[in-house]
Amino acid sequence: MTEGLRARIRVDRSPTFSLDIELAIAPGETVALLGHNGAGKSTTVEAIAGLARVSAGQIAVNGRVLDDGGNIFVSPAQRKVGVVFQDYLLFDHLSVQENLGFGATEAKATRVAEQLGISDLLSMSPRQLSGGQQQRVALGRALAIEPDLLLLDEPLAALDVETRTATRRTLAEHLRQFQGPKLLITHDPADAFLLADRIYMMENGRITQSGTAEEIRQKPATSYAAAVAGTNLLHGTNDNGTLTLADHPHTLQTSDVQMAGDVLITIHPRAVSLHPAQPHGSPRNTWLTTVAAVEPLGDTTRILLAAPLPISVDITPASTASLGLAPGVQIWASVKATEIRASPTGER
């Protein structure tokens, strides 16, 4: 299959870091490259956009080779890659109309403005726009050149939480309308899970897992994948249903009393309950802990717990408010033994 993006990218940045990944994106498909800071996401953007040459490999869009690490290197201006940068990089001295028309005809700029619902902003300066409006202008500028590939580098990172949620919905609608391959670079799992058809997990310059959001949620391959997918991944041993954790001074009870030896332990954040006082009843696992961080995620709030078991818990904003949760607040946590899954090491 020659259409879409096909890339094998190796970039040697320093003696201690190199990027070495393979990517494939079909026409009309949105793929997220999800990784932590320093994982190599920016280097990937630079290589595909033509801002950095690959040391080895090949980048091709719709069968056209853009860089082969040797004789072929197509300049950024000739690549037909529409890029939406994290900080948008709009020209403050130009109007919205002029920003949209940078590298495109006036007719194309006008048509894109209509598609994105920003025709009423054309005479304004980027300084006069809200964050969400700037994001749409940046997307419009990328689309106005009629690109073969759309590359979005942390397109929502500059927005506050409330604006990000609304803009994410708008962005999803516009991405569905673009028929070429789309690569979303992000460190935010919410962006990846809500906007992408497939996800590549990137760690230390390598792809460690790929699949749909549900596939990664159900079976994360690494601790990082588990953390960003929302599933808590722990290591330990199982002895007659007692889980002794490898890295934390705490034990848990699981309903699996048959498995013995080294295991990987997964606990979904929604399976953990939080209580203002010590709970009684069916949960076999309860412990007193402290809130380490509170992260609003739209309809869900993620609570990060501190020692003795630093895991993530997903609850509603209303529950967060009623419990008065904030960093430093003490809280009781509980999880049923049936909600703790233990898998023999090596199953993944």
- pLDDT 10s per residue in the chain (348 long)? 458 999 999 999 888 899 999 999 999 999 999 998 899 999 999 999 999 999 999 999 999 999 999 999 999 999 999 999 888 889 999 999 999 988 888 888 899 999 888 999 999 999 999 888 998 899 999 999 999 999 999 988 888 766 776 788 788 888 999 999 999 999 888 788 889 999 999 999 999 999 998 888 778 888 788 777 777 878 889 898 899 988 788 899 888 877 788 888 888 888 999 999 998 865 679 999 999 999 887 778 889 999 999 998 999 999 999 999 999 999 999 999 989 888 776 443
CB atoms within 10 A of CB 38: 11
Pairing relation of β-strands 30-35 and 198-203?
parallel
What tens digit of pLDDT does each residue of 184-222 get? 999 888 788 889 999 999 999 999 999 998 888 778 888
Distance CA 266, CA 247 (A): 14
Kindly report the pTM of this predicted structure.
Answer: 0.72
CATH number of this structure's domain 5-80+147-226: 3.40.50.300
Q: For the chain, where are the alpha helices, taking DSSP H only? A: 41-49, 96-100, 106-116, 131-144, 161-177, 189-195, 213-218, 223-229, 317-323
Sign of the torsion formed by the C-alpha atoms of 167, 172, 178 and 180 = positive
Distance CA 231, CA 174 (A): 30
- Kindly list the domain boundaries of the chain, sorted by start residue: 5-80+147-226, 230-344
What tens digit of pLDDT does each residue of 8-24 get? 999 998 888 999 999 99
Contact assessment for residue 224 and residue 232, using Cβ atoms and an 8 Å cutoff = no
Structure tokens of 170? 């708008």
Distance CA 98, CA 104 (A): 10
Topology of the domain covering 230-344: OB fold (Dihydrolipoamide Acetyltransferase, E2P) (2.40.50)
Calculate the CA 18 to chain-centre distance: 21
Sign of the torsion formed by the C-alpha atoms of 71, 5, 18 and 152 = positive
Scanning the structure block, which residue is given the tokens 């994982």?
39
Structure tokens of 81? 């890659």
Contact assessment for residue 95 and residue 122, using Cβ atoms and an 8 Å cutoff = yes
- Compute CA distances 96 → 113, 127, 142, whole Å: 9, 10, 13
